[in-house]
Amino acid sequence: MRSGRLWRRCLLLLLGLTALPALLLLLLSGAEVRPGRLHPFSRNHHQENGSWSPSRDEIPAWMLEVENSMVERRRHLKEACSMLGLDVPGNDSLHRPNPWEFFVNRPHHIVWCNVFKAASTSWMYNFNVLAGYSPKFLQNSKLVPLNLARRRYSRPSLHDLQVALNDSISFLIVRHPLERLLSAYRDKLEYSLPHTLHQKLGNQIILKYRTGAPKIIPIGRKSYRKNPRWPTFPEFVNYLVDVHKKGEPFDMHWTPITEFCTPCQVDFDIICKFETLQEDQNYLIHLARLQDIIRPQWKNPAKGRTTHEVAAGYYSQLTKTQILQLYNIFRYDFELFGYSLDGYLELGINDAHSVTTPNT
């Protein structure tokens, strides 16, 4: 027993000495090292060819530039969580970790919280490749990618997630709350597939919120009569406001990220943004040494009109009050990830109940 304890102490000492040069390098370079965990640049990644602790010269300049953005995003998130009191443990959905939507890949030491309508299709594909599915199989399969993934990635317990976070790179992808909401509306309601739960939900929204004949709705440079078989965007927003007032849960495709991934309770290494996704995911892939297995993906990209043109066509249908009500619903996502209402509130129709723009 005594010899066993001595052996373990020697091993821990050896591991500590091995990691010391990388930690000193990070301190000298000004990179962020969070208490209790190694920063991704110094973390050992257990690849087949051994561990990796890069020197400063081995880190490409473009990665260091992206890392500066990541440091700032983590700093902003931490400060916002503290200011809003979301970093305090509690029993509600905002103050306790939610491991349910996480994907944990232990062989490659990477952890992802899947945010729907924020490059989720692209990274579901990547995680399926990392799970061993071949690209050819994924291309030909008729099965839902999420269902395929859950065959290989069981939903982790909180303990499993905490263990994985200690030696993995954890990340999530965020998107402007109103852009993400519009994407979810168009995908799941406006273009809902027949005989689906979302089509059923759309019918329920129409029955409750539609009054009179459908109006002529301007979309970009064209106008057309809205097809009454799906809810209009204002009808959808009225539904969301009522659900929020009742304290009922949202559909996972438009649940606020703050509740879905609990970023104030889970320590993420990398916060990718949809607006800078190309460089962010390239950085992530190289940091995790996965560039020989997966590549940056951009599946389901918008076609034709720009995102701004699409957003203008829909948000100009809302009153300013409705837009402010949406801000209230997604307030924490706005504040934690540095988004604002700039360019959106101006689109709204003036109404008697409009109030002052929030400070975002």
Conformation bin of residue 175: beta by default, left when phi > 0, alpha when psi is -120 to 50: beta
Q: State the pLDDT at residue 33.
A: 35
Q: How many CB atoms lie within 10 A of CB 86?
A: 20
Sign of CA dihedral 219, 200, 254, 355: positive
Q: State the pLDDT at residue 206.
A: 95
Count, in order, helices (H) and strands (E) of the chain. Answer: 14, 6
Sign of CA dihedral 148, 149, 151, 157: negative
Strand pairing report for 169-174 and 270-273: parallel
For helices 177-185 and 320-329, the axis angle rounded to 10 degrees is: 100
In whole angstroms, what is the distance from residue 350 CA to residue 346 CA?
Answer: 9
Q: State the pLDDT at residue 296.
A: 82
Q: Which residues pair with 216 in a beta bridge?
A: 225
State the DSSP H helix or E strand holding residue 103, giving kind and residue range, or none if neither: strand 102-105
Q: What Å distances lie between residue 61 and 68, 208, 269, 280, 283, CA to CA?
A: 11, 56, 19, 14, 11
Ranges of H-type helices in 32-189: 61-84, 120-130, 135-140, 145-152, 158-165, 177-185
In whole angstroms, what is the distance from residue 286 CA to residue 67 CA?
Answer: 12
For helices 307-315 and 177-185, the axis angle rounded to 10 degrees is: 80
Q: State the pLDDT at residue 299.
A: 57
CB 334 within 8 A of CB 356: no
In whole angstroms, what is the distance from residue 86 CA to residue 179 CA?
Answer: 24
In whole angstroms, what is the distance from residue 147 CA to residue 128 CA?
Answer: 10
Beta-carbon contacts of 132 under 8 Å, excluding residues fewer than 6 positions away, are 152
What average pLDDT values come out for the chain (360 residues) when binned by 10 residues?
A: 47 45 39 41 42 58 94 98 97 95 98 97 97 97 96 97 97 98 97 94 95 58 57 97 97 97 97 96 96 79 68 97 98 98 96 62
pTM: 0.81
Q: In what order do the strands lie in the sheet with 270-273?
A: 102-105, 110-113, 169-174, 270-273
Q: State the pLDDT at residue 46.
A: 40
